[in-house]
Structure 1
């Protein structure tokens, strides 16, 4: 996996590519960029791009853990990025309930 950090232009293009028609997906993706944009690598961006090729409902199934990646998407780099996307929304609130 390419460990080079994404430059601003590539990050901007990736953000644009990640815009989704389904609000639920957008919320996951927005939190992902809020958290990881400064440290995203080229390899992670490529894996994210592959996830963005999925239909909205298929992507949402992965994000909500209804399904796991299969076939060409069942790779460590894709699973890593999916794990980053799936990070619980409540993690930053500091509540332990």
Structure 2
């Protein structure tokens, strides 16, 4: 089930795949966090940011949710500018935050 509000029309294959994966993580809360961020940002992410977002998508839902809500300390190798943007986006726009 996708909650996306953004069409994938006009996106290259990589961005379409990332958008789909962001909305299909497994844990609904993470679908909303990652999917909403992807809806808002996917078209403007640099290649470096896309690579970092793909890396974050691979993190388990439980760990990533803990990092985003601050319940678990974010490992330094994941505490990147893109992760900080994701956390700030979640804190300011999502009804699901810690």
Q: Does 1:36 pair with 2:38?
A: no
Task: Return the TM-score normalized by structure 2.
Answer: 0.68
Distance, in Å, in 2 between the alignment partners of 1:90 and 1:71 is: 25
In structure 2, runs of 5+ residues without a counterpart are: 1-10
SS at structure 2 position matched to 1:73: coil
What is the count of residue pairs matched by the alignment? Answer: 81
Which has the greater radius of gyration? 1
- What residue in structure 2 maps to residue 49 of structure 1? 54
- What residue in structure 1 maps to residue 8 of structure 2? none
- Flag as ranges the 4+ runs of structure 1 deviating above 3 A: none
Distance, in Å, in 2 between the alignment partners of 1:38 and 1:71 is: 27
Distance, in Å, in 1 between the alignment partners of 2:73 and 2:81 is: 12
Give the alignment's Cα RMSD to 1 decimal: 2.1
Q: Give the drift of 1:16.
A: 2.6
In structure 1, runs of 5+ residues without a counterpart are: 1-6, 92-97
SS at structure 1 position matched to 2:31: helix
- Superposed, which structure 2 residues align to 1:78-97 within 5 Å? 79-86=80-87, 87=89, 88-90=91-93
- What residue in structure 2 maps to residue 94 of structure 1? none
1:15 to 16, 19, 26: 19
